[in-house]
Chains A and B, each alone.
Chain A
């Protein structure tokens, strides 16, 4: 899947959440959106998800328009994506197994896959417990299970590392590698660049709805002009700090 975001603008009246943002996302890439709170990362992901209709610009998938001004993303795109929200939540009345079964039915996935997924996300023993009794890390793992249940071509992860326990982080790294090696696409937002640095193929830095910089982690290091350290280069977290503080950046 090749995804082209073309001059996307989202205007909430008092706030210009995205302004003429363009970027390309390619097969087998883990694309990371970085930026401070209110930078527009989640807004961009929400446009892909069909939760927000853009005011201007387009989203194209393999050349086909999936979202455009006033029109949220098409059902055929949403068929192919899986989503892990930042503050993932489910009905507290349901058990983990019931949650996965609901999404399996909605996504046309067999119920046997639900059991495999429970095993994979380490919730088999807690499968019949109400979600309200789950820790934040367990909910996040359940959310990741929901997102990958139907093996989507595009995986959208909004701040996926927040609240994840060690087991969840390990699962997340595994999923990112799996998606990359299978030639699928991952689009994710994060504050924790240092954590995600080694897994990111490309990083796009957004500040106040404007795309400040784009490139591979190595390219961003070069652009930043920060001095090299013994560990080969500055940590991407430092690069990020530099980027969001810079007045102008070449995209």
Chain B
């Protein structure tokens, strides 16, 4: 990463620290995570058992939102503020600016996730703390994937308001409506879809992969069987490929769009 890109990364961090939406959503995530942890640690038996899966469910909803909020205005925001021209006139490739913006925002996201899950871990006993902290890497992968989608939205739109609407729509469709769509497909086909088909349909969605992989790890494979999915999730290589694709592809498409744009500020 060159001198200009490093400057852009640091600039992004400075800006994100003062972005009120990022602060609000990060704070909300931390607050709810602490609430779940406090409830889990105070209660005996069942509440303690479901605490980690509850945190997974919370993260599966909120981390994509934090990531999309972070990413959606990366380029379109600069364009709307009329700062993109000055930035793009620096001696650096357009794609490198995009990657630098992604990295800067990813560091802010890491901070948000560590703050959220870390705050929850503070309220737990050592054994449970380990379980919660083990959620960090997959949660960061989930965030990185949605951040990449957010950055792609920012290169594809002409106005911040459009980008924000699109980010919310993506969040709703991918995180909420996708599973409902699968259920509808099951009903419509009268259960003709095989377990493997359902499993692949779920894990190809980053939010679905995150949820199912962690719930299988925390609760056991039987939980997935109860959900109508194949007992065995795809192997680590397939899961790695899915994560890598969701992180790299949107970013690559965004870089291509920006690079091919004839007038970068238009």
CB distance from A74 to the nearest CB of B (A): 9
Q: A79-B91, A108-B3 given as contacts; is B15 within 8 A of A93 (CB)? A: yes
Nearest-CB distance from A131 to chain B (Å)?
A: 10
Q: Closest Cβ of chain A: how far from B83's Cβ, in Å?
A: 5
> In the complex, A111→B15 CA distance in Å?
20
Is A93 within 8 A of B19, CB to CB? yes
Which of A12, A106, A143 is B4 in contact with, Cβ under 8 Å? A106
A88 touches B86 (CB 8 A): yes
How many A-B contacts are there with CB distance less than 8 Å? Answer: 74
Task: State the main secondary structure of chain A at its contact with B.
Answer: mixed
Question: Given A93-B19, A94-B14, A94-B15, is A85 in contact with B86 using a C-beta cutoff of 8 Å?
Answer: yes
User: Which residues 72-110 of A have a CB within 8 angstroms of B?
Assistant: 72, 75-76, 78-79, 81, 83, 85, 87-94, 98, 102-103, 105-108
Contacts of A137 in B (CB 8 A): none
Contact with A along B100-142 (1 / 0, CB 8 A): 0000000000000000000000000000000000000000000
Give the residues in chain A near B8, CB-CB below 8 Å: 106
A88–B87 Cα distance when bound, in Å, is: 11
Task: Count contacts on A: residues with CB < 8 A to the other chain.
Answer: 33
Instruction: Indicate if the CB atoms of B81 and A49 lie closer than 8 Å.
Output: no
- Is there contact, CB below 8 Å, between A46 and B265? yes
What CA separation (Å) do A77 and B86 show in the bound complex?
15
Q: Which listed residue, B82, B88, B92, touches A51 by the CB 8 Å rule? A: B88
CB-contact partner of B262 in A53, A76, A90, A143, under 8 A: A53
A-B residue pairs in contact (CB < 8 Å), sample of 12:
A12-B262, A46-B85, A76-B91, A78-B91, A79-B91, A83-B85, A93-B15, A93-B19, A102-B10, A106-B4, A106-B7, A106-B90
